[in-house]
Amino acid sequence: MISAKLPVQYAFIIRVFTALFALLLFAAGPAFAQNAPVPVFVADVERQDFSDEIEALGTLQANENVELTATVTELVTRIHFEDGQRVEKGALLVEMDTAEERALQAEEQSRLEEARRQVERLKPLIARGAASKSALDEAELELQTAQARMKALDSRIVQRQIAAPFDGVLGLRNISEGALVQPGTRITTIDDDSVMKLDFSVPELFIAVLKPGMSIEAETDAYPGEIFKGTLSSVDSRIDPVTRAIAARALLENPDFRLRPGLLMRVRLSKNPRQALLIPEEALLVQGERSSVFVVIPGEGDSASAKAESRTVEIGARRSGEIEILSGLKEGEQIVTHGTLKLRPGAAVIVKAVDSGNESLETLLKQNTGAEE
C-alpha cells in the first residue's frame, strides 16, 4: 500500500516546488530588470499653446445664390452664356422674342412725340390768350399717358431679357434657343462664390463661447490635409428644442474658387486658450482610475544608469495625439513613449531616441540604428 501512494506524494511535492520556483522568478523580476537596462524612446514634457476645441459638421453655400427663371411665356431667341461661365453683374444671358413689344413701342413713340409737339404748340397760344387752359391740360395728360405706356413697354421688354443679378459663376444651362419657356422655367443658376457661408450647429452648452468675429478652422475630404480659416459671422436667435443645438454661420474667403456650395466640412472652434503641459497620448498608462507615466530619472554619476520612475498624473483635455497634464509633471522632464510594457518602477533604462512628435515609429527605429552605429 505504501508503494501505491508514492506517485501521488511525489506529484504533490513537484507541484509545490514548481509554485515556489515561479514565485521566486516573479520576485526576482525587478532585480533582473534593474540589472539589464531597458531600451526606450522618450519625449520631452513641453508647455505649448492649447485650447479646448468644439467640433461640428457644416455645409457650404454661396454668399449669394439665385435660380434664374423665366417670368413670361415666350420663345427664347438668343443665349449668351455657357455652362460654368463667370459673369459680371448686368451681363445679358438670355433674350426672348420681343418683336411685338418693339412694334408697339415704335407706335407708341410716334404718339409720344405728337403729344409733346401738341403741348409745345399750345404753350405760346395760352400766353397770347388764343387757346384755353383746359386744352393745354388735355394735351399734357395725353403726353403723360404716352410716357406711361412707353414705360410699360420697356418693362415688358426687360422681362424678356435675363441678366446676371450679381458677379458670380453660372451653373448648367437648362434651355436651348427656340424653346418656349413659361413662368418658373429654370434657365440656370448663379452663385457668388467669392465668399462662402458655412452653416453648422453646436450643442447649446457652448452658446456662451459663440461670439461673432471669433476664428474657426474647417477641413473637408475633398482637399485632404488642407485647413480653411474663416470668421464666425452670426449665431441664430433660437435654439432647436428637439436637438438642443444652435445654428451658427461662418464666412470663408474663397479667392481661388475651389470651395463649392453643398460641400460638407468639419468645423473646429477654440475656447479657453492657455499654456499647458502636453505629452504624447501613447505615454499615458491607465490602471483603473489611476493615470501614470514613466519618467526618466538621469543617473548621478557618469557610469550610473538612468532609472524609470512611475509618476501618477492628473490629466485634462485631449486633442489629436496629445494629452494635457494638470499635475504630476514638470516642464523639461522626459517621459517614456515606447517600451513601457517592459518597465517596472526603478528599472534601469537606456534612451535610444527622442520622440518630438513628428516622427513615425519607423523613423525612430532608424534614428536608433544610426545612434548605435
The per-residue pLDDT for range 93-108, each reduced to its tens digit, is 999 999 999 999 898 8
Query: Helix H segments across the chain?
Result: 2-35, 99-128, 133-159, 361-372
User: In whole angstroms, what is the distance from residue 177 CA to residue 203 CA?
Assistant: 51
Of 278, 213, 219, give the one whose Cα is nearest residue 250.
213
Check residue 209 and give its pLDDT.
Answer: 83
Residue-number span of the structural domain to which 175 is assigned: 72-94+162-183
Check residue 312 and give its pLDDT.
Answer: 92
Of 252, 247, 248, give the one whose Cα is nearest residue 196.
252
4 lies in a domain?
Answer: no
At residue 20, does pLDDT exceed 70?
no
Same domain membership, residue 358 and residue 340: yes
- Whose cell is 474658387? That residue is 257
Same domain membership, residue 284 and residue 262: no
User: In whole angstroms, what is the distance from residue 348 CA to residue 254 CA?
Assistant: 56
Same domain membership, residue 147 and residue 128: yes
At residue 247, does pLDDT exceed 70?
yes
Check residue 33 and give its pLDDT.
Answer: 42
Same domain membership, residue 178 and residue 134: no
Q: In this structure, what DSSP letter does residue 342 have? A: G
Same domain membership, residue 283 and residue 297: yes
pTM summary value: 0.61
119-126 long-range CB contacts below 8 Å, 24 or more apart? 119/143
Contact predicate 337/355, CB 8 Å: yes
Which cell goes with 270? 477654440
Q: How many structural domains does the chain have?
A: 4
Same domain membership, residue 354 and residue 280: yes
Check residue 73 and give its pLDDT.
Answer: 94
- CATH assignment at residue 258: 2.40.30.170
At residue 320, does pLDDT exceed 80?
no
Q: In this structure, what DSSP letter does residue 109 have? A: H
Confidence of residue 162 (pLDDT cuts 50, 70, 90): very high
127 lies in a domain?
Answer: yes
- CATH assignment at residue 282: 2.40.420.20
Contact predicate 271/209, CB 8 Å: yes
104 lies in a domain?
Answer: yes
- Whose cell is 436637438? That residue is 243
Same domain membership, residue 255 and residue 222: yes
Same domain membership, residue 177 and residue 134: no
